[in-house]
Structure formats: C-alpha cells, structure tokens
Amino acid sequence: MAILKVAMLGNPVLRKKAAAVKDVAGAETQRLIDDMIDTMKEYSGVGLAAPQVHASHRLCIIEAVKGSPFKEAVALLNPSIEPLSQQKADDWEGCLSIGDLRGTVPRFRHIGVKALDRKGKVVEFEATEFFARVIQHEVDHLEGVLYFDRMKDLTTLTHMNEWSRYWLKKS
C-alpha cells in the first residue's frame, strides 16, 4: 500500500471526464483502491476520486461518514446518481485537490446511487444529507467538475483560517 500524490487545481486530469473501469477485479484496480483508501485517510479526507490521484477512472472512495450504511470506507466504481427529491441544501465543502479553501455548495439532499463495489457486485442504495453530499462531490470529480463550479456565487469561498475566524460561529 502507498500514499499517492494528490493532483492539485490546475492539473488537467481534474478537468477530464474519467473513463469507465473495465477490469474491476484486476490487480491494478484493486491496488489503486487500497492506495486511494490509504491516501484519503492520510490527508483526513472523507472522500477521494481517482482523477485526484492522476488516474482518470470512474472510481471513488467514500469514507464511512454519518448516514453511510457501510461500516468502513467503500469503493464505488462506475457510479451513477439520481436525485430522489429536487430539494437542495447548502453546506461547506473543501477538496484535497484545492487545498486551504472552503465554500458553501448546494447539493441534493436525497439521492439514489448505483455502482459496482470492489468485487464487481452491483450495489444500490439511497443517501441523504452529508453522506449524499460527499458522494455528489466525488462523482462530480469523475466528470471534471469541482465544488466551486456548483457554488451559487463565490462570496463564501474562504481560507481555512478565515473560516474558523469569521464563519464557524455562523454555520
């Protein structure tokens, strides 16, 4: 297992549409999943998409955040999502590929998710609130979309220090 180098904003891989994973069971895919889990944990992320580690594949790791039915970090391969309600909520997001910034992003509150797990088995589940937010953020990475593309405007885009200083109490 290894900690992988994270692609930072400006790297074209972050803006590319990722290709479907074909060889789910292959050693290379399985190693990438293990390394991505290690990398996400190393940097205290709650999710990580393969393009963020220079691998333009439709694969993301979602940590077992509040609301997740999974007991540990889960790999979603070739995921698709659909809103189950048009209701959206605004909340703070950051991104390991963007670094020391946060902003408020509107996301669907309730989504349906269909993907393959790391064994190639189809998994289908519903996600709400923070869990749904993390999945939407990571699936966006597979389309080359970054969180600030989804912000209504950039007025809440904030460095972490200033976030703690000016925004923490308000949120």
Binding site for Ni ion (CB under 5 A): 95
The minimum distance between CB 154 and Ni ion, in angstroms, equals 17
Which residue's Cβ lies closest to Ni ion? Answer: 95
Token digits of residue 159: 């460095």
Other beta carbons less than 10 A from residue 150's beta carbon: 17
Nearer of residues 23 and 100 to Ni ion, judged by Cβ = 100
Inter-residue contact 131 to 68 (CB < 8 Å) = yes
The minimum distance between CB 9 and Ni ion, in angstroms, equals 10
Inter-residue contact 64 to 135 (CB < 8 Å) = no
Nearer of residues 12 and 26 to Ni ion, judged by Cβ = 12
CA distances from 58 to 14, 17, 98, 117 (A): 12, 9, 20, 12
DSSP helix/strand/coil, 91: strand
The yes-or-no answer on residue 129 being catalytic is no
Nearer of residues 43 and 120 to Ni ion, judged by Cβ = 43
The minimum distance between CB 50 and Ni ion, in angstroms, equals 12
Among residues 82, 124, 126, 138, which one is catalytic?
138
- The length of the chain in residues reads 171
Catalytically active residues are 138
